[in-house]
Amino acid sequence: MQRSDPTRFLITPALIVGLFIVSAYGYFAFSSLFLKGLPGTQFVGELTLENYRRVLFTGSNQYVLLSTLWASLVISLITIAIAVPMAMVIVRAKRQWVGNIIMLAIAVTFLSGSVTRAYSWLILLGNKGLVNLGLSGLGIVDAPIRFLYNWTGVGIAISHYLLPFAAFTLIGAVRNLNPSVEEAARSLGAGRATVFWRITMPMLLPGLMVTLVLVYSVALASFLFPMLLGGGKVRMIANQIYDRMFVEYDIPYAAATAVVFLISAFVSIWLISFVAKKVEKAVS
């Protein structure tokens, strides 16, 4: 008697859930081919590409889309630059309690809510916040530095949000490194900086690329931090979609914006992955 494959019982529920998800996205994308209807209706009229024309050929839309893609990439790179030494210390600290404390701090950050973190940064980065008070008390600045309602504050908050994703991913990559290769390089006279850049980083590169794609994907969907810390002066594409749905009540326009953004995100992620593979081949 043949044993039944247990995965067969999971296929049907998975297909049903997948069908609901695809149907919801499909219906939302389909609504982008119409125009805004009267109050109480979602869309009216015949099929049209007018919403896509507005998204693609309006200067403000182009600026928000491009700034979202570019800012997400820059913030992701900064986050990884911070996460690499943290992961190295967690894995290779001579005193284990040091790595444990850093791991605990990252875990607490990861488990705290986005709203909590956003309001915490509002308090820290305000003109009379702890950061400016500390800088003024040390005599570093005479007037408060403006961190809020610009890309500086938004970038700091998003980077802080992404840091646990980057650090936890890189911890596994650092643990897979072969320390004997680094020790051999040191025994041959290489300094710490040379070993790090010419030995450690090439071995760590595949993990870095995976981490970059992960945190970049998360950064693209940032909504809360630009809204609260940007104060309406810093806009990312998620804020644009939200306003068109719940402020302008223009669902077709919001749907077209979402479709263009989704395609742009997939293309940019593919480009990053493509470049990453080329770099890996070059250093291998």
Cα–Cα distance, 34 to 37 (Å, whole number): 9
Q: How many CA atoms lie within 13 A of 258 on its CB side?
A: 20
Cα–Cα distance, 82 to 66 (Å, whole number): 25
Q: Which residue has the tokens 């250093």?
A: 283
Q: What pLDDT digit, counting tens, does each position of 136-193 carry?
A: 888 888 888 899 999 999 999 999 999 999 999 999 888 888 777 777 877 877 777 8
Give me the residues paired with residue 43 across strands: 36
DSSP assignment string, 162-191: HHHHHHHHHHHHHHTS-HHHHHHHHHTT--
Cα–Cα distance, 2 to 270 (Å, whole number): 43
Cα–Cα distance, 50 to 34 (Å, whole number): 8
Among candidate residues 214, 235, 216, 213, the one with its CA nearest the CA of residue 224: 235
Give the pLDDT band of residue 40 (cuts 50, 70, 90). Answer: low
Residue 4, pLDDT > 70, answer no
Among candidate residues 87, 81, 75, 76, the one with its CA nearest the CA of residue 212: 76
